[in-house]
Amino acid sequence: MRPPPFWNPDGPRTSGAVTRALLSPLGWAYAAAGAWRIARTAPAPAPAPVICVGNLTLGGTGKTPVTLAVMDAARALGLTPAALTRGWGGRLAGPVQVDPALHGAREAGDEPLLLARTGLTVLDRKRVEGARLAADLGADLIVMDDGHQNPRLEKSLSLVVVDGETGWGPGQIFPAGPLREPVSAGLARADAVIVMGPDEDYQPDLARLGLDALERPVLRAWLAPEAAPPEGPLVAFAGIGRPQKFYDALVRWGGQLVETASFPDHHAFSRGDLNRLSDLAAAHDASLITTEKDWVRLPGDVRSAIAAWPVRARFAEPARLTALVEQAVDAWRARR
């Protein structure tokens, strides 16, 4: 979904405040229902350590790149990780191993396809059977992409990812704001917080985020491209939680951006969309470029004409992330 303007605390203050006030009772009900579900659900034992990479808000914070970084840290420790995802936007309920050669975005969703390009990935909307399938396929560590509000499966380590610039928005629960639950409740279940910034020089305002006195590790990370943007004029398009982050990054890393086109998160691109994008690029004598996550949702016959710009999560102190993974695995093994 595209964030509505009233979720922006720096937007039109009067109309936004009124809209949020009118919707806040629905937010309280949403939060109460989530809290009741978490309190009443007994997590199923996991067949391997489970590291959950989640967030407290709707929209993009960088969970999937962080999931990939956690899997890389696990491999560095000699482990065999598997990504576990619910497959948002796809038809499959699972449990099923995601295979990019067999599954498209309509079946599996974009994030599972992106994860499956780098390693073992299992899709399961309810997560429990998916964790068992991942273990049966040889995984000795399960990395859950999203699921901080999913209480069904026992977790060994819960990482909460937050965008350092947008933070918690206006601090209100959906639909009045982007929060999935109250910040205090979500952080109480977290073992560490990862603050995502625009680049390695960004220093987040931890006091503004309410993290300055948090008695849990706070790690700083950012998204960095695997290569510089292509040369020449570029028309960028994206259907992610915050398309502007993608456009800003292209410019920051030297891209010659001449036009942009934004779509809702997880947008299924139609032929009409692609024709309009092609015409827009032709009008500017430019090339089309999109995110890796959007690229996997494109029809196969147009992918060769559109550049994907992959990014990866980088950590200011990568050893701290590796240590958290190792400690979680050791603690899980000690309990067995």
List pLDDT tens digits, range 34-80.
899 999 999 999 999 999 999 999 877 888 999 999 999 999 999 99
Q: Is 155 marked within a binding site?
A: no
At residue 12, does pLDDT exceed 70?
no
- CA 144, CA 10: separation in Å to the nearest integer? 33
| 292-303 average pLDDT score | 89
pLDDT for the residue 105: 83
* DSSP secondary structure letter of residue 228: P
Q: Is the peptide bond before 4 cis (omega within 30 degrees of 0)?
A: no
- CA 81, CA 277: separation in Å to the nearest integer? 38
Q: Is 59 marked within a binding site?
A: yes
With bands split at pLDDT 50, 70 and 90, how would you rate the model's confidence at 268?
confident
The H or E element containing residue 238 is strand 233-238
Q: Is 58 marked within a binding site?
A: yes
Q: Is 61 marked within a binding site?
A: yes
- CA 119, CA 306: separation in Å to the nearest integer? 24
Strand partners, 142: 50, 82
Q: Is 290 marked within a binding site?
A: no
Model confidence over 148-187: pLDDT tens digits?
A: 999 999 999 999 999 998 899 888 898 888 899 999 999 9
With bands split at pLDDT 50, 70 and 90, how would you rate the model's confidence at 94?
confident
Q: Are 288 and 258 in contact (CB under 8 A)?
A: no
In total, the chain counts a number of residues equal to 336
Range list of H helices, the chain: 13-40, 63-76, 105-108, 110-116, 128-136, 183-188, 206-209, 243-252, 271-283, 292-295, 318-335
Q: Is 57 marked within a binding site?
A: yes
